[in-house]
Amino acid sequence: MTIREMQQVLDARFLYGEELADLDAQFVFSADMMSDVLAYCGKCSVLITGLCNPQVVRTAEMLDIVCIIFVRGKLPDENMLALARGKSIAVLATEHYMFTACGILYENGLRGGA
């Protein structure tokens, strides 16, 4: 599923990275604890989280995540978006709660990677 398709099914907004919209992903990890993301993300290349601070982008960078999806209407500040731009990590924001966002993506064929 491409980042564009994820954006559409989640009614999400691109905060950065429309030019990355054609990147394809199969595996997704979701958590608010970044240590859990670091421990268990495995081969996932998309991160769904409701945590909103610069360490989310740093964590994504360490794991070669290509897209961060913020749930529950969380909006990263300009500092976080600048970090994401510097690392070419697409950033989406959706109003859906985490459970719902995960369910929608699962229904559309994405899976957890661990």
Which residues are at the interface with another protein (CB under 8 A)?
32-36, 38-39, 51, 53-56, 58-59, 61-64, 79
Instruction: Give 18 or 36: the residue with its C-beta nearer to another protein.
Output: 36
**Least separation in angstroms between CB 11 and another protein:** 25
**Least separation in angstroms between CB 80 and another protein:** 9
Instruction: Give 54 or 112: the residue with its C-beta nearer to another protein.
Output: 54
Instruction: Give 35 or 109: the residue with its C-beta nearer to another protein.
Output: 35
**Least separation in angstroms between CB 47 and another protein:** 11
A 10 A CB-CB count for 23 gives: 16
